[in-house]
Chains A and B, each alone.
Chain A
Amino acid sequence: MIIKRHEVFVISASENVITARQAVKKWAVEMGFSLSDQTKLITVTSELVHNIVIYAQNGTMLMEELDDKVRRGLRMTFHDDGPGIADIDRAMQGGYSTGSGLGLGLSGSKRLVDEFSLTSEVGKGTHIVVTRWK
């Protein structure tokens, strides 16, 4: 599988959420994703970049265009050196609380993509990789 191109975004303020979203949308359109898929991609980007801003204050998003000769894919890697997630299982189960909680929205985000992987260590940070294939 080859990575046709990639771009890195520094996430440190909520304005970066928009930059990241717009970039993802641009690539998704260029790659010919359906409107439905485009929306899922920018929404998951918004969710996960928001998480970085809220919980870790700063981090990065790596965007990669993949090609394994059979199909093309868009992969985003969200990384931060923030507090990490203590109870990953619970975080993955939780939906959106109707309370003030700014939910992590991880379980929902997982449903919007084809591949989802999350690693996190308390005190070290969180690393999430999502991929959507065309």
Chain B
Amino acid sequence: MNNIPTLSTLVKQHQKDLLIDWLKEQMASSAWRSDLMTEAELRQQSSEFINLFINALQNDTSSSIESSDWDDVREMLASVSHSRAIQGFSPLETATFVFSLKKPLFTRLHEALKNDVEALDAEMWKATVIVDQLGLYTTGIFQKTREEVIRRQQQEMIELSTPVVKLWEGVLALPLIGTLDSARTQIIMESLLQKIVETSSPIVIIDITGVPTVDTLVAQHLIRTVSAARLMGSDCIISGIRPQIAQTIVHLGVDLHEIITKATLADAFIVALQRTGFRISRPTS
């Protein structure tokens, strides 16, 4: 092998200085969040990354970070990205971790190869290709993590906002309000079934008066819930069905014979009472 320094050999040779310069870059940039991370933590993360980066470079042949040589680096970056996403760093602040490595790398390359334009060109290109890929990868993980967090928060909100009400002994009511999307409906339905077991209620009134539209997916969920409740031993009455919604359900080709439907929750309540052996009467005066 000739003595022309390569990206790989230079990085290994100047590891300590590289780390120092890189840390300086990170902390000088506007992306540094001293409120979310201490200098010691940053140093530890950066040092770990440089070690893995050097190892990967030694073995790397393709400059593609998807190859197995880069597995450890990707894993570490994913971990950094994931935790930063959760801690509240912005995408830019997280990507800066990787991208700010470019300047120290280029500085070293230029110093060592300034008299060999071709070699300088090749190694700088290689460095750019690799760092860019790593930066993009980091951003990708960040995004996935954020989406996951949002999804979980939505789930919690949904669970909190749809109470199941016990109307009477053995009669539960679930007044649905607002637009229903697939995810929300699923969660509501699961919690309804859970309530049925907890209260041993043989009758459930699902009132959809407050639901403006029901698409086929939601109608399917509703029907599935009714089926599941029946399997458990509880019958559902659906109240508040408007003509358009009735049409959707019919279009689905669903056999509605088994599902009792009533125009209003009040009507449904009376049916529920009757089925549990009660009757409302007014004392004659």
Binding site for B on A (CB under 8 A): 2, 36, 68-71
Residues of B within 8 A of A68 (CB): 78
Whether B190 lies near A70 (C-beta < 8 A) is no
Of B140-148, B168-176, B241-249, which stretch is located at the interface?
Answer: B140-148
Whether B144 lies near A70 (C-beta < 8 A) is yes
Whether B141 lies near A70 (C-beta < 8 A) is yes
Whether B148 lies near A69 (C-beta < 8 A) is no
A69 to B80, CA, bound (A): 10
Residues of A within 8 A of B79 (CB): 69
Beyond A36-B190, A69-B141, whether A2 also contacts B75 by CB under 8 A is yes
A68 to B137, CA, bound (A): 13
Chain B interface, >50% SS class? helix
Name the interface residues of B69-94: CB closer than 8 Å to any CB of A: 75, 78-79, 81-82
Residues of A within 8 A of B75 (CB): 2, 69
Name the interface residues of B114-146: CB closer than 8 Å to any CB of A: 141, 144-145
A70 to B145, CA, bound (A): 6
Binding site for A on B (CB under 8 A): 75, 78-79, 81-82, 141, 144-145, 148, 190
- 5 smallest CB-CB distances across A and B, nearest first, come from A69-B78, A70-B144, A70-B145, A69-B82, A70-B148
Residues of A within 8 A of B81 (CB): 69
A69 to B83, CA, bound (A): 10
Whether A71 lies near B141 (C-beta < 8 A) is no
A68 to B197, CA, bound (A): 36
Question: 9 A–B contact pairs at CB < 8 A?
Answer: A2-B75, A68-B78, A69-B78, A69-B141, A70-B82, A70-B144, A70-B145, A70-B148, A71-B148
A21 to B81, CA, bound (A): 36
Residues of B within 8 A of A71 (CB): 148
Residues of B within 8 A of A69 (CB): 75, 78-79, 81-82, 141
Residue of B whose beta carbon sits closest to that of A133:
B148
A69 to B145, CA, bound (A): 9
A69 to B77, CA, bound (A): 10
Residue of A whose beta carbon sits closest to that of B149:
A70
Residues of A within 8 A of B78 (CB): 68-70
A120 to B141, CA, bound (A): 34
A2 to B145, CA, bound (A): 16
Residues of B within 8 A of A36 (CB): 190
A69 to B144, CA, bound (A): 10
Please name 14 further chain A to chain B contacts, defined as beta carbons within 8 Å, in addition to the given A70-B141, A70-B144, sorted by A numbering.
Answer: A2-B75, A36-B190, A68-B78, A69-B75, A69-B78, A69-B79, A69-B81, A69-B82, A69-B141, A70-B78, A70-B82, A70-B145, A70-B148, A71-B148
Residue of B whose beta carbon sits closest to that of A36:
B190
Residues of B within 8 A of A70 (CB): 78, 82, 141, 144-145, 148
Whole-angstrom distance between the Cβ of A97 and the nearest chain B Cβ: 18
A69 to B73, CA, bound (A): 13
Residue of A whose beta carbon sits closest to that of B142:
A70
Residue of A whose beta carbon sits closest to that of B186:
A36
Whole-angstrom distance between the Cβ of A74 and the nearest chain B Cβ: 17
Residue of B whose beta carbon sits closest to that of A69:
B78
Residues of A within 8 A of B144 (CB): 70
